[in-house]
Amino acid sequence: MAFALNKLRVPIIQAPMAGGPNTPAQVAAVANAGGLGSFGFAYSSPQHISDDLSAAKRLTSGPLNANFFVFHEVPTPSIELQHQAIAALKRLPCAQDLRMVCPEPPYFPDLNAMLEPVWLHKPAVLTFHFGLPKPEVLERARILGIAVGISATCLAEGQAIEQAGADFVIAQGIEAGGHRGTFEPDILDDDLPTLDLVKQLSGALKIPVVAAGGIMTGGDIARARAAGATAAQLGTAFLVCDESGATPAHKHFLLTKPTRGTIFTHAFSGRRAQGLRNEFIDAMQGQPHLPFPLQNTLTGPLRKIAVQHNDGEHQSLWAGRAYAQARPMSTQRLMELLEQEYLQSSAVRENP
């Protein structure tokens, strides 16, 4: 029997966040507090995935989630586009000394190889972003008793997820930080707010729905549950916790720039993603870029140097729209607070 979301003692999923924020210490702290702790393994090597899952399992016997992107084949961009995308980046003073060439194929990691440690460690949950994994992946997870969840940004995607046999759907509203989970990179997105999408999906589907996007407090979780969600997935709320592996500049900007606002951009990775507005995003507005994930590889050295120099203006600061409500504290304390607020809000809803 696969793990069931309604068995979580607290209906909270700490969002998978590829690129460093999900440390084993944070993932385990969430699982120990009754939630589901997640790793964003999209860009990780099989060894790294195995090490992180082992490390978390030493710290908790609670449920864990391993998350991956479903990468889509991309044709090699024309030489003209390659030149334009590189020239746009080279106009930035901090990129002038960097060697920039269009990445060579293979453009993305081998999902089968990345899933090998998952089949060995058997986390309770496996989730995917950007579309449906191959049927054999879903079948193997089913045989091993691993529940599978897939992100949806609209009803058509939710229906495809249910038909594919997934165990739950993650309703990613427009408030959500990070990449839109749309199946096709440039499909017209409905841009629905989280609660509207949750209502739409939970009304139409039989599988459980997880609410993701702009959920920062236990009151928000109670509202998501009232809209039809079985659980809530929170990303930005966990970024500022002590155990989060978000870069110092990322945490600093989240906590000190409450009016800066978030914006969608393709400029860091080639896919539409929401983060704190910064100089890089402003400078790249309307500029040509390579398709995902080639643009991500292309901007890698620039982002790495920005992290090394603690430069928040030239690294991706993915964040949800409600980031100004983020509360810095230990992960355990945040989980306690969220649970307490959730129980209070639920009680008020039931006995107004």
Ligand X SMILES: Cc1cc2nc3c(=O)[nH]c(=O)nc-3n(C[C@H](O)[C@H](O)[C@H](O)COP(=O)(O)O)c2cc1C
Q: Which amino acid is at 83?
A: H
Q: How far is the CB of 132 from ligand X (least distance, A)?
A: 14
Asked if residue 27 lies in contact with residue 241, where contact means CB atoms within 8 angstroms, the answer is no
For residue 212, state whether it binds ligand X (rule: CB under 6 A): yes
For residue 175, state whether it binds ligand X (rule: CB under 6 A): yes
For residue 123, state whether it binds ligand X (rule: CB under 6 A): no
Q: How far is the CB of 259 from ligand X (least distance, A)?
A: 17
Over its C-alpha atoms, the chain yields an Rg (Å, rounded) of 19
Q: How far is the CB of 15 from ligand X (least distance, A)?
A: 4
For residue 12, state whether it binds ligand X (rule: CB under 6 A): no
In whole angstroms, what is the distance from residue 325 CA to residue 82 CA?
40
Rounded to 5 degrees, what are φ and ψ at 231?
-150, 170
- Which region holds residue 13: left if phi is over 0, alpha if psi is between -120 and 50, else beta? beta
- Interface with ligand X (CB under 6 A), residue total 28
- Single out the residue of 46, 208, 235, 293 in contact with ligand X (rule: CB under 6 A): 235
- Single out the residue of 151, 297, 299, 345 in contact with ligand X (rule: CB under 6 A): 151
Residue 60 or 172: which CB sits closer to ligand X? 172
- Single out the residue of 10, 15, 29, 306 in contact with ligand X (rule: CB under 6 A): 15
- Single out the residue of 14, 23, 67, 345 in contact with ligand X (rule: CB under 6 A): 67
For residue 149, state whether it binds ligand X (rule: CB under 6 A): no
In whole angstroms, what is the distance from residue 233 CA to residue 216 CA?
10
| Angle 164-224-217 from CA coordinates, rounded to 5° | 125
Q: Which amino acid is at 254?
A: L
In whole angstroms, what is the distance from residue 238 CA to residue 206 CA?
29
| Footprint of ligand X (CB under 6 A) | 15-18, 21, 40, 42, 67, 129, 151, 172, 175-178, 212-215, 233-237, 318-320, 322
